[in-house]
Amino acid sequence: MAQQIALLVNPAAGRGRSAVVGARLLSALRGRGADVSVHIGRSPADTVRLARDVVAEGPDALAVVGGDGLVHGALQAVVGTDVPLGIVPAGTGNDIARAFAVPRSVPEAAEAILNGRTTDADTVAAGGRYYLSVLACGFDSRVNERVNGFRFGLGRMNYLIGLAAELSSFSPLPFTVEVDGERLEAEGMLVAVGNTSSYGGGMRVCPGAVADDGLLEVVFVHAVPRASFLRFFPHVFDGSHTGLDEVTVLRGRTVAISAPDRAARPVVGYADGERLAELPITCEVVPRSVRVLT
């Protein structure tokens, strides 16, 4: 019997690259005898609905062709099920694909999907959803708000442009962070809660995060002058920032974050590059709750 593969595609991801990759993957899978259905959501909410409908039919795999946002949508459907998640990177950031070292070429991706080898990964329950990579609160989520409003996707360059724009107006926030009951109250620039290590197209904000160890890595950047923060930020690209005096790193299973903004501007948490919820937010690791095709 032919393998039943569901393809979830965002044709607009990666400035149209996803549509090309999806068509090539469809041809490769069918050429190897798979029974493939293609699904395209009209919006993030519609994508989640489609993914849940597809998973309910019990395919051999749900393969996602797009960026981290599309993976995030599919994740809401596959967590806690036996349907494995295939990730075919075709977006701008592709941090989730990077974390799991999934194949980037179409022939290798087709082989991985059909071979069915999986790794069991943790997910994180937060804000009524699940995420796989990093939750960002504070400066980085403000940058995310800016970047998501850009008309053109330029990968890491978008984040650098958004960073420069936000830096001119950002003020430190009065964070309260509790990690397994350990409480930290301090003025800070950002809090990142990582299940995997990177966001923003390869910035290793939580370099010690491992997707299957049952723990979250929490990186807290204390308040610093803007000029110092600008000098600090390049360290995020190689993960060396965690050794700086301005950074506190904690690890645990449950992380609660709150930060009332003095300017009455909501502080928003972003996860997998998607707008999740306003603070306060509680993140709780869900051990080995998704099967990822590798």
Extract long-range pairs of 160-164: CB within 8 Å, 24+ residues apart: 163/233
DSSP 199: B
Specify whether the backbone of 16 is left (phi greater than 0), alpha (psi in -120 to 50) or beta. left
In the block, which residue shows the tokens 């009209």? 42
Q: Quote the percentage of the chain above a pLDDT of 70.
A: 94
| 146 φ/ψ angles, rounded to the nearest 5 degrees | -65, -50
Per-residue pLDDT reduced to its tens digit, 19-49: 899 999 999 999 999 999 999 988 888 999 9
Provide the mean pLDDT of the chain: 91
3-state secondary structure string across 268-279: EEEECCEEEEEC
pLDDT given for residue 43 in this prediction: 86
Distances (CA, A) of 178 to 184, 221, 268: 6, 15, 17
Per-residue pLDDT reduced to its tens digit, 120-139: 999 999 999 999 999 999 99
Whether the bond between 84 and the residue before it is cis, its omega within 30 degrees of 0, is no
Per-residue pLDDT reduced to its tens digit, 142-195: 887 777 666 665 556 776 777 778 888 888 999 999 999 999 999 999 999 999
- Any residues with CB less than 8 A from the CB of 226 and at least 6 apart, and which? 167, 168, 170
Per-residue pLDDT reduced to its tens digit, 41-73: 888 889 999 999 999 999 999 999 999 999 999
Per-residue pLDDT reduced to its tens digit, 213-237: 999 999 999 999 988 888 888 899 9
- Any residues with CB less than 8 A from the CB of 262 and at least 6 apart, and which? 171, 174
pLDDT given for residue 140 in this prediction: 85
Is residue 189 classed as helix, strand or coil in its secondary structure?
A: strand
